[in-house]
């Protein structure tokens, strides 16, 4: 079993280097490592404009017009809408582009004339910005005052969160609770000494839509910048860079300890989840998954290893939150989770077979739901 107490999270105190405007107000990227793991992080949706790929704008205001949108990364639907409207008005006039967020046609782009009518010529242009970015089907739009996209569009297939740890900090793994991805989504964790984060990149796919993603590094790495990329070309719901909690940092590795006992059970109970500020999130009757595991150290345990176990207990405490990656030998399914300690962890010396002795560590915890 691998344990990572939230108190060890290297992201705590980090600053977001990604443009803050890329995230919805009230749901910033820093919520991914907030002290309350139930807070949401919502991206506005990034849009990538690439020359000769999706930058062409062709329309008709009585005569054929053609222009392009400047290539680059736009951090929100508003930004890309402004860029497209500016390109259109540079060769014509009285055009507006905006993104509907109301209850009707939610997450759809609208192209509108402030006066008169105009047509969008989509079918004739393989590089059409309307076709590739704004959700219009491959068809011409006849002259009208308002044109609305055919389907919801929230972003290009990648949402990114870049953080600055202020100084280089070591990390053994990344945990991400409840990544909001479609089946087939991919998570990339990039680390480095600069904002480019090109030193190391780890990719996790296939199971990226599970409850808790665990990515262990082959060796402890130290980096100042960490970037989380969520790639999901199939997602067309609300823009979301992630939900729940992101942990990046050191772990307590129990592979040097033997599992003495392991128990798992389901306990029905009424749960009313509240944030630290007292806001009610949800109330429900649901079974809670509980786990109790006891470890026994080997006979050759060194004093340093015993101290590491004591440091773990100090970081956990009663009701402390911790990411858990269970030993697949004992728990081959749903092997990682965000958990809450339900009893004070115990560490006791059971034999004096070496200078450090032989120790028993007992932990009891339950799975924590994350919105």
Rounded to an integer, the average pLDDT of 53-63 is: 95
Q: Which of 252, 267, 283 is the last residue of a domain?
A: 252
Residue with tokens 């046609």: 105
Could you tell me how many helices (H) and strands (E) the chain has, helices first?
3, 25
Cross-strand bridge partners of residue 296: 258, 360
Domain match, 266 and 322 both: yes
165 vs 289: which has the higher pLDDT: 165
Q: Which of 100, 115, 148 is the last residue of a domain?
A: 148
pLDDT tens digits, 251-281? 988 777 888 888 888 877 655 556 556 565 5
Residue 76 has pLDDT above 70, yes or no: yes
Contact 30, 16 (CB under 8 A): yes
- Rounded CA-CA distance 251/162 in Å is 22
- DSSP symbol at 43: B
Q: Which of 214, 237, 252 is the last residue of a domain?
A: 252
Pseudo-torsion of CA 160, 164, 169, 173, nearest 10°? -10
Count the residues in the chain: 371
Residue with tokens 């070591």: 170
Contact 85, 93 (CB under 8 A): no
174 vs 39: which has the higher pLDDT: 174
Domain match, 23 and 52 both: no
Residue 162 belongs to some domain of the structure: yes
pLDDT tens digits, 344-371? 888 888 877 666 678 888 989 988 866 5
Domain match, 111 and 194 both: no
Give residue 209's pLDDT band: very low, low, confident or very high (50, 70, 90): very low
Residue 2 belongs to some domain of the structure: no
Rounded to an integer, the average pLDDT of 130-145 is: 92
Rounded to an integer, the average pLDDT of 108-131 is: 94
pTM for this structure? 0.78
User: In the predicted model, what is the mean pLDDT of the chain?
Assistant: 83
Domain match, 281 and 198 both: no
The reported pLDDT for the residue numbered 87 is 97
- Rounded CA-CA distance 306/298 in Å is 11
Tokens read off for 317: 């405490």
Domain match, 38 and 52 both: no
- Rounded CA-CA distance 347/364 in Å is 12
Alpha-carbon Rg of the chain, whole angstroms? 25
Q: What are phi and psi of 343, to 5 degrees?
A: -150, 155
Residue 14 has pLDDT above 60, yes or no: yes
Pseudo-torsion of CA 204, 157, 210, 18, nearest 10°? 80
Residue 71 has pLDDT above 90, yes or no: yes
Residue 319 belongs to some domain of the structure: yes
- Rounded CA-CA distance 190/213 in Å is 15
Contact 320, 7 (CB under 8 A): yes
Domain match, 286 and 225 both: no
Domain match, 73 and 161 both: no
Tokens read off for 152: 């919801």
**Which residues contact residue 26 at a Cβ distance below 8 angstroms, ignoring those fewer than 6 apart?**
none
Residue 15 has pLDDT above 70, yes or no: yes
Residue with tokens 């989380």: 228
Residue 1 belongs to some domain of the structure: no
pLDDT tens digits, 292-346? 999 888 776 676 677 788 888 888 876 688 999 887 566 655 578 888 888 888 8
Mean pLDDT is lowest, of 161-175, 246-260, 277-291, for 277-291
Contact 79, 87 (CB under 8 A): no
Domain match, 321 and 336 both: yes
The reported pLDDT for the residue numbered 169 is 96
Total domains in the chain come to 3
Domain match, 19 and 116 both: no
Torsional class of 76: left (φ above 0), alpha (ψ -120 to 50), beta (otherwise): beta
Domain match, 30 and 162 both: yes
- Rounded CA-CA distance 238/101 in Å is 10
Domain match, 142 and 279 both: no
Domain match, 267 and 211 both: no
Residue 3 belongs to some domain of the structure: no
Contact 55, 71 (CB under 8 A): yes
The reported pLDDT for the residue numbered 307 is 77
Residue 5 belongs to some domain of the structure: no
Residue 175 belongs to some domain of the structure: yes
The reported pLDDT for the residue numbered 235 is 61
- Rounded CA-CA distance 182/153 in Å is 15
**What's the CATH code of the domain at 183?**
2.60.120.260
Contact 69, 129 (CB under 8 A): yes
357 CB-side CA count, 13 A: 11
- Rounded CA-CA distance 39/41 in Å is 7
Domain ranges, residue 171 = 12-43+156-252
* Residue % of the chain over a pLDDT of 70: 81
Q: What are phi and psi of 162, to 5 degrees?
A: -110, 130
- Rounded CA-CA distance 297/2 in Å is 15
């Amino acid at each position: 079993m691998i344990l990572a107490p939230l108190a060890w999270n290297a992201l705590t105190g980090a600053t977001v280097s990604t443009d803050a405007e890329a995230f919805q107000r009230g749901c910033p990227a820093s919520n991914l490592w907030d002290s309350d793991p139930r807070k949401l992080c919502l991206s506005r949706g990034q849009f990538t404009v690439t020359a000769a790929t999706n930058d062409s704008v062709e329309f008709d205001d009585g005569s054929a017009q053609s222009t392009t949108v400047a290539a680059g990364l736009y951090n929100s639907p508003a930004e890309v809408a402004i860029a497209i409207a500016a390109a259109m008005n540079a060769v014509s006039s009285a055009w507006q582009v905006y993104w509907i967020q109301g209850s009707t046609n939610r997450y759809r782009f609208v192209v509108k004339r402030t006066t008169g009518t105009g047509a969008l010529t989509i079918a004739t242009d393989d590089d059409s910005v309307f076709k590739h970015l704004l959700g219009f089907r491959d068809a011409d739009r006849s002259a009208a005052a308002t044109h609305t996209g055919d389907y919801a569009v929230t972003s290009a297939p990648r949402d990114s969160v870049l953080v600055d740890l202020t100084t280089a900090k070591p990390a053994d793994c990344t945990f991400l609770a409840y990544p909001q991805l479609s089946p087939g989504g991919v998570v990339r964790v990039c680390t480095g000494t600069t904002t480019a984060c090109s030193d190391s990149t780890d990719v996790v796919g296939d199971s990226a839509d599970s409850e808790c993603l665990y990515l262990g590094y082959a060796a402890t790495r130290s980096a100042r910048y960490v970037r989380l990329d969520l790639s999901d070309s199939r997602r067309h719901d609300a823009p979301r860079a992630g939900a729940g909690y992101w942990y990046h940092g050191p772990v307590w590795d129990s592979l040097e300890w033997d599992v003495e006992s392991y128990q798992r059970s389901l306990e029905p109970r009424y749960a009313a989840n509240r944030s630290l500020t007292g806001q009610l999130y949800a109330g429900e009757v649901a079974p809670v998954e509980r786990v109790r595991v006891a470890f026994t150290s080997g006979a050759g345990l060194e004093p340093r290893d015993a101290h590491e176990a004591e440091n773990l207990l100090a970081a956990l405490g009663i009701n402390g939150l911790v990411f858990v990656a269970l030993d697949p030998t004992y728990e081959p399914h749903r092997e990682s989770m965000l958990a809450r300690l339900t009893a004070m962890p115990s560490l006791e010396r059971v034999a004096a077979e070496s200078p450090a002795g032989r120790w028993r560590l007992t932990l009891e915890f339950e799975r924590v739901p994350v919105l």
